[in-house]
Copies of this chain bind each other. A is one copy, B any other.
Amino acid sequence: MTRGWGQPGRTASGPARAELLRQRNLALALGTIARAGRCARAQLAEQTGLTKATVSSLADVLIASGLVVEGDPDRGLVGRPGSPLGLDPSGPVGLGVEVNVDYVSACVVDLAGEVRASAVLASDNRGIDAREVCERAARLARSLLSSPPVSGLRVAGLGVALPGLVDTTGVLRRAPNLRDLEGIAAAAVIAELLPELPSTVACGNEANLAALAELWFTDHEGRDDFVRVSGEIGVGAGIVIGGELWQGTNGLAGEIGHVFVDPGGPRCTCGARGCLEHIAGQEALLRAAGAYGGPATALGSGLGSVHELVTLARSGDGATLDALERAGTALGVALAAVVNVVDVPVVVLGGLYADIAPWLASAIVRELEQRVVSYPWAPTEVAVSPLGAGAAVRGAAGLAIRAVLDDPASWHPDTA
């Protein structure tokens, strides 16, 4: 699913092993500083289990790389003053770009996982030439990067989230809702359109990247096993097991949008009938609620109409509440299949579903309770994502950040 950066060497002969150890220790130190915010060398030694001498040497490397800065001795602490280490505020950031069915978006995320800047452009991309769609995304990204809060920062890499199945070469192989992009290596095209950026590019399916964002950027209370379902025009899921994204044999896992839930449903863009997407996808929901205002444009509709859906639901509109009840039931049926087959203890509602969770949750819980065979003694937890609609693009930026966090020595500020 996530392509572009090489994996650290797995065959560890003599010198390679020493190199690997150094990389791991650097990553450990940088990760600890990033999480802590501020961290004296002594604390760093304590938290990493490394000697003070090793920590000092690692800190020097990280400072020289422009990843970490040393502040003034912190005299507020008890005992000897320590010079706190912190992330260099002008250090590298990751650029995330998302191409979705009815919008493009971009965001800039720093090593601490903070969003420094973000932008969304509502625009229906269906039926639009692939190159033009990539140009929309690249223009938005360039405009974002030139905006004041982030204009001076150096970009470590580009991550791209795509609404479909991405193969091992980065080609979008199937995107039922965005056929014109099929067969295109959209991330590579966007990267070519941004020649001012470094050449490190990764990409992945939007639901998978949203699940990684959940794992990386939220306080998920140690829940390292969950399925996160993302509601957009398409419906996708990302499965995280043991703190890692479950990618399947070909990197294509999580296609929940085409799980069968309704024999009477219309024919889906995938060719089959009864797919979840046709009851619980964004457009299907909006249509059923009478809130569909046509394709998204930069001037409105699209993302905006989700707010309309919420407004209608709050006002007690009958058609809207019926549509939400049907969507919740369909989601519950499909999620029960996932939980029965994969066995994950937590379901996270993301994207659109986070906004309308109050009206979906009881139907989802009812179906899980009825259908999940292990429910009576291991009830499935239903949680709501705090990340909102920006999860996937944040996960995409996260790919670039993780590459630096996992291998700090790969970051060479001079070449960025």
Contact = CB atoms under 8 A, between A and B. Distances in A.
Interface of A: 165, 167, 173-174, 176, 225, 237, 239, 241, 246-256, 258-263, 270-272, 275, 333-334, 336-338, 340-345, 367, 370-374, 376-378
Contact of A374 (B165, B260, B333): B165
B173 A252 contact: no
Contacts of A173: 374, 376-377
20 contacts: A173-B377, A174-B373, A174-B377, A246-B342, A249-B344, A253-B342, A254-B341, A255-B341, A255-B373, A256-B341, A258-B336, A258-B340, A258-B373, A260-B261, A260-B336, A260-B337, A262-B263, A271-B370, A272-B336, A341-B342
B252 A378 contact: yes
Nearest to A369: B271
Contacts of A367: 272
B341 A239 contact: yes
B338 A341 contact: yes
Contacts of A225: 249
Contacts of A338: 341
Contacts of A241: 248-249
A43 B116 CA distance: 63
Given A260-B260, A336-B260, A253 B341 contact: yes
Contacts of A176: 373
B165 A251 contact: no
A270 to B, nearest CB: 6
B260 A371 contact: yes
State the 6 A-B residue pairs at the shortest beta-carbon distance, nearest first: A248-B343, A255-B340, A253-B343, A225-B249, A272-B370, A252-B343
Given A260-B260, A260-B261, A261-B260, A374 B250 contact: yes
Contacts of A262: 263
Contacts of A271: 370
A370 B167 CA distance: 20
Nearest to A263: B263
A209 to B, nearest CB: 16
Contacts of A334: 337
A5 to B, nearest CB: 21
A255 B338 CA distance: 9
A260 B259 CA distance: 9
B258 A344 contact: no
A376 B341 CA distance: 24
B250 A345 contact: yes
Contact of A378 (B237, B250, B258, B275): B250
Given A174-B377, A270-B373, 10 more contacts: A165-B373, A165-B374, A248-B344, A251-B343, A253-B341, A253-B343, A254-B343, A255-B374, A272-B367, A337-B341
A342 B260 contact: no
Contacts of A263: 262-263
A344 B256 CA distance: 14
A374 to B, nearest CB: 5
A253 B225 CA distance: 13
A344 B342 CA distance: 12
